[in-house]
């Protein structure tokens, strides 16, 4: 069963963080008509063995964390996106065509180990 972590370590646990992608920062505003940017988010944090069952973890992460516990040379399970969603982009290409296209896996909705 999961061992409750203290408040300080909770901050370091695997979870979703906000990341806004501003196309102006990338110099892409010249060709992307819309959106101007989007909240892409990212995953970051630790996946300790004691919490692998409660951090939206895969069975694989549990096994990896278990192995890390007995053999520290095995790396810890990592915090990764477990649910992603698409965005639509409206842009102009080099032939002056206006294109509306949907791109999969652009926004992190959920993270897990």
Partner 1 sequence: ALSQTLQFQEYVFLQFLGLDKVPSPQKFQPVPYILKKIFQDREAAAITGGSQDLCSVKDLGVRGNVLRLLPDQGFYLYSKNLSQASSCLQKLLYFNLPAIKDKEQLTMAQLGLDLGPNTYYNLGPELELALFLVQEPRVGHSIPKPGKLFVLKSVPWPQGVLHFNLLDVAKDWNNNPQKNLGLFLEILVKGDRDSGVNFQLEDTCARLRHSLHASLLVVTLNSEQCHPSSRKRR
Among 3, 10, 69, 90, binds partner 1 (CB under 8 A): 90
Say whether residue 29 binds partner 1 (CB under 8 A): no
CA distances from 97 to 25, 27, 34, 58, 89 (A): 24, 19, 14, 43, 13
Residues 14, 111 contacting (CB under 8 angstroms): yes
Work out how close the CB of 80 gets to partner 1 at its nearest, in angstroms, rounded to a whole number: 19
Say whether residue 21 binds partner 1 (CB under 8 A): no
Say whether residue 98 binds partner 1 (CB under 8 A): yes
Q: At residue 94, what are phi and psi to the nearest 5 degrees?
A: -70, -15
Say whether residue 88 binds partner 1 (CB under 8 A): yes
CA-wise closest residue to 51 among 94, 92, 97, 10: 10
**Contact residues: partner 1, CB under 8 A:** 27-28, 30-31, 33-35, 85-88, 90-104, 107
């Amino acid at each position: 069963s999961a061992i409750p972590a203290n408040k300080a370590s909770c901050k370091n646990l695997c979870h979703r963080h906000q990341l806004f992608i501003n196309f102006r920062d990338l110099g892409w505003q010249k060709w992307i008509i819309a959106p101007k940017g989007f909240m892409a988010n990212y995953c970051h944090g630790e996946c300790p063995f004691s919490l692998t069952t409660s951090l939206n973890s895969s069975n694989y992460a549990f096994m990896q964390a278990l192995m890390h516990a007995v053999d520290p040379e095995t790396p810890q399970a990592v915090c990764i996106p477990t649910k992603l969603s698409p965005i639509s982009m409206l842009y102009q290409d080099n032939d002056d065509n206006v294109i509306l296209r949907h791109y999969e896996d652009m926004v992190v909705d959920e993270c897990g180990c």
